[in-house]
Structure 1
Amino acid sequence: MRTIAQIKEKIKDKKAVVWTVEELKAQVAEKGVTQVTKEVDVVTTGTFEPMESSGAMINLGHTDPPINIRQCWLDSVPAYAGLGAVDLYIGATAIPDYSNSGEASELETRLGVSHKERGGGHIIQNLIAGQSVQLKAIGQVSDCYPRASFQTTLTRDTINQFYLYNPRNVYQNFIVGVNAGERVLHTYLGPLHPNLGNAVYSSPGAIAPLFNDPQLKLIGIGSPVFLGGAVGYIACEGTQHFPKQRRLENQTPIGPAATLTLVGDGKAMNPRWVRGCYFKNYGPSLMLGVGIPLPMLNEEAVANCAVTDEEIVAPIVDFSIPRRVRPTFGLVTYAQLKSGTIKIEGETVRTAPLASIVRSREVAATLKEQVIAGTFPIQAPIAPLPMDRAFLPQDRWGSQFALE
């Protein structure tokens, strides 16, 4: 048994033992849980994958005369302006809104990318990288805010606050997408080829943060996380947080389960870990590097981190059925997924990860170095994350209506 206070003191004295989660798994296989518990203080986890429920809060500062922004575009990507006068929120999946083809052509020339293959995630990446972004805003005129419109060039250094506020990051587990239909499907997992032509999985598996703390006993509200290369924090449970998902005996979920809301200072982030991306015929998103250090307080914590790809599973979901609840082809282990092929109804199907396994490992390794150096904080959460949330669908209460 050890406490977080004891771990912090060892880090301060340069005596803490910090391993990546893969190093921990190897040590447990060699020495066993009891011996490893005596040795290790902190384990670092990591993932680098698309997290589309992300976005950035931006405060512009007031103009003279002042403007109360009610419509706004950043490089022609709309930002939400229904907040304070110059507070904006741009979502990672926001798509460009061009008033004329000339505007689109100018942006394509300046940015060197098709205007159809970019969105809010690219705006966030560019600001983090120190690049300039064109702002166009329309205001609601009043005695307090007499200005009707405003346009300028922004960078991260010319705005006040710029922080990522991501409502749903770091799924504890996700699905494997396949397509048993007759045509290619363009999805948030990328293209799924017909007749079970491929299978795509999202999570990097046993190195992912929440697989190694299945009951969320080591983290909670206020816990520090590696977010986009900077220190971020868990603000609360994420949207669609579903910890009541069915679980194996080792307490890992068999499908999408817990999620986190994360917040962090965009001005301190590194574009290596925050990358806008685009899924053909689906839309834009954001690739995000997230790592969580887990304090090894007892044998239970070490045993949970020792879980391997052979011991965690994901459901194989058929996207050819356009329903909220789609048919599945059963469960498959992450070891099978990472082998490159799986068997579905006797057929061999190629697999590929949506997450970057290499970058996920790099997140864990980078976080390890920061914890050892004392530049990344280890602290107890101020409140636990709920473990009793159910998942509520909306189809019971609504109906489709005609679009004009």
Structure 2
Amino acid sequence: MATIDTINDKIRRGQATVMTAAAFKAHVAEVGISQAAKTVDVVTTGTFEPMEASGAMLNLGHTDPPIKIRDCYLDGVPAYAGFGAVDLYLGASQMAQGSDNDEPRERGGGHVIADLVAGKSVHLQATGQVTDCYPRAAFETTISQHSINQFYLFNPRNLYQNFIVGVNGGERPLYTYLGPLQPRLGNAVYSNPGALAPLMNDPDLQVIGIGSRIFLGGGIGYVAWEGTQHFPLQKRLPNQTPIGPAATVALIGDAKQMQARWVRGCFFRGYGPSLMLGVGVPIPVLNEPVALGCAVRDSELVAPVVDFAIPRRVRPTFGMVSYAQLKAGRITIDGRPVRTAPLASLYLANQVAETLKQWIDAGHFQLTAPVAPLPCDRTFIPQDTWGRQVTLG
């Protein structure tokens, strides 16, 4: 049986057999699972999609005289400053301030993060809490990734193992985190790349865990923890893939190593800003069960079709559709054809997997064994306010 160490030894000697997820699935169809498990060492997966539960940590370094920042704006986008004196956290979905006429700007934290990754300068305006050790009351400057200390992404929730398909059964257009949904079932939008998605290729979380080294935004990152809303107990098909939103991961990586191609700000009309991010995860083929997980095809994966016209946490669905149907461009709802479109870039998802493969082939990227597994027993706890009993002491 292969191990991370034996695979890394092959990588160092230039003898590892690495395939992208798409190539591996075709290879399995040709030679079968058993032979593929024996001959392939690593399968590279990838996605490029909006990941709004992302953000960046920045450390500015101390001014003279020092300042204890408590309010801060980066190109007009508020950053959180409620901890160290000159530490900031910039959320990808934080909206920019309005202009003088209070019109919203189609810009947010994701755009500022992308600008910093691209080496651009951004305007910083800060006010401080004046104390004996931090006497400065205000600070204004221009920063870039080269003029600050730490600049790294810390993303609380990325890489949903599966997600939903959004439709709109109402009478007016809806502007959502999936983009515009046209009325009367005018379109259907899905966000997960299906058989290309990293966690879809490791449905039982056998090999991806805390400490796994990954491709993050064109640099090297790591799985830092379970992601928020991590829900591995989602109902599953016999192949162990979930039928809806399930496992997630928190990711971390040095943004100074990242590339502008793989980190891009975006804006959803009527909803707000986000961050398009390329993430690739290598799957070490340790045994046949791992290979079986990587062999899953779009026809064997399903997602629920959810009606956003119902403004509730639990919305009605029109049943399940396969990712093969979604990627074909049409699904059928109540007997009528509905056109589909991916929110993720399937082309760039394949390019992420191919780039990671090239890194491994060249010996520039080795695998890491998780220091701890991702938990598989997390339930999902909603916040229901209707009928809540409040006891006053």
Q: Which category of TM-score, normalised to the shorter sequence, fits these structures?
A: over 0.9
Query: Where in structure 2 are the equivalents of 1:331-346 lying within 5 Å?
Result: 331-346=320-335
State the shift of 1:398 in Å.
8.4
Q: 2 CA distance for matches of 1:398 and 1:369? A: 56
- Aligned position for 2:391: none
Which residue in 1 is equivalent to 2:202? 213
Match of 1:72 in 2: 72
Residue aligning to 2:232: 243
1:62 paired residue number: 62
List per-residue Cα deviations over 1:237-287 (Å, max 9, x = no partner).
Answer: 000000000000000000000000000001000010010000001100000
SS in 2 for 1:46: strand
Deviates more, 1:373-382 or 1:238-247: 373-382
Q: SS in structure 2 opposite 1:23?
A: helix
Equivalent in 355, 365, 368 of residue 366 of structure 1: 355
CA contact (8 A) 2:98 2:104 kept: no
1:38 aligned onto 2:27: no
Could you tell me which amino acid in structure 1 is paired with residue 275 of structure 2?
L
Could you tell me how far 1:100 is from its partner in structure 2?
Answer: 3.4
Kept after mapping to 1: 8 A contact 2:68/2:130: yes
Determine the C-alpha separation between the residues in 2 that align with 1:17 and 1:3: 14
Matched residue type, 1:172: Q
Q: Is residue 300 of structure 2 the alignment partner of residue 290 of structure 1?
A: no
Which residue of 168, 171, 191 maps to 1:182?
171
- Tell me the SS of whatever aligns to 2:210: coil
Tell me by how many angstroms 1:122 deviates: 0.1
Query: Aligned with 2:88: secondary structure?
Result: strand
Q: Hey, what's the Cα distance between the residues in 1 that align with 2:46 and 2:121?
A: 30
Mapped to 2, the partners of 1:116 and 1:69 lie a distance apart of 24
2:5 match: 5
Give CA deviations for 1:107-162 in whole Å, capped at 9, x if unaligned.
xxxxxxx9611100000000000001000000000001000000000000000000
Taking the aligned partners of 1:26 and 1:95, their CA distance within structure 2 comes to 43
Quote how far apart the aligned CAs of 1:395 are. 1.2
In structure 1, how many angstroms separate the alpha carbons of the residues matched to 2:50 and 2:19?
25
Stretches (4+) displaced over 6 A:
none
SS across alignment from 2:22 = helix
Q: Which one-letter code corresponds to 2:331 in the other structure?
A: I
Are 2:258 and 1:269 equivalent residues in the alignment? yes
The aligned counterpart of 2:374 is 385
- The answer to whether 1:226 aligns with 2:218 is no
SS of match in other structure, 2:351: helix
Aligned to 2:342: 353
Q: Residue 23 of structure 2 aligns with which residue?
A: 23
Cα distance per residue 1:67-102 (max 9 Å; x no partner): 00000000010000001000000000111124735x
1:171 aligns with 2:160: yes
Q: Does 1:300 pair with 2:289? A: yes
Q: Residue 315 of structure 1 is aligned with which of 293, 304, 323?
A: 304
Provide the C-alpha distance between the structure 2 equivalents of 1:189 and 1:135, rounded to a whole number of angstroms: 31
Shift of 1:354: 0.2
Q: Secondary structure at the match of 1:6?
A: helix
Task: Give the percent of matched residue pairs that are identical in Structure 1 and Structure 2.
Answer: 66
Query: How does the TM-score come out when normalised to structure 1?
Result: 0.94
State the secondary structure of the residue aligned to 1:117. Answer: coil
The equivalent position to 1:157 in structure 2, one of 126, 146, 166, is: 146
Cα distance in structure 2, aligned partners of 1:57 and 1:383 = 24
Q: Tell me if 1:278 matches 2:267.
A: yes
1:48 aligns to 2:42 (yes or no): no
Secondary structure of the 2:252 match is: strand
Aligned to 1:132: 121
Distance in 2 (alpha carbons) for counterparts of 1:146 and 1:3: 56
- The code of the aligned residue for 1:23 comes to A
| Distance in 2, Cα, partners of 1:15 & 1:179 | 51
Residue 97 of structure 1: aligned partner: 97
Query: 2:191 matched to which residue of 1?
Result: 202
Cα deviations by residue, 1:291-312 (Å, 9 ceiling, x for unpaired): 0000000011111111000000
Q: Distance in 2 between matches of 1:366 and 1:353?
A: 21
Q: CA deviation at 1:396?
A: 4.4
Deviation per CA, 1:149-187: give whole Å up to 9, x if none.
000000000000000000000000000000000000000
TM-fit CA distance, 1:379? 1.3
Task: Give me the TM-score of the superposition, normalised by structure 2.
Answer: 0.97
Letter aligned with residue 63 of structure 2: T
Given that 2:97 and 2:105 are in contact with CA atoms closer than 8 Å, whether structure 1 keeps it comes out as: no
User: 1:142 and 1:379 mapped to 2: Cα distance?
Assistant: 45
Contact 2:11 2:366 in 1 (8 A): no
Code of the residue aligned with 2:144 in structure 1: it is T
- Whether the 8 Å CA contact 2:190–2:341 is kept in 1: the answer is yes
2:311 & 2:385 partners in 1: Cα distance?
A: 17
Q: Secondary structure of the equivalent of 2:105?
A: helix
Number of the residue aligned with 2:88: 88
Residues 331 and 132 of structure 1: CA distance in aligned 2, closer, same or farther (over 3 Å): same
1:108 match: none
Distance in 1 between residues matched to 2:251 and 2:308, nearest whole Å = 29
Match of 2:372, SS state, is coil
Pairs aligned (count):
388
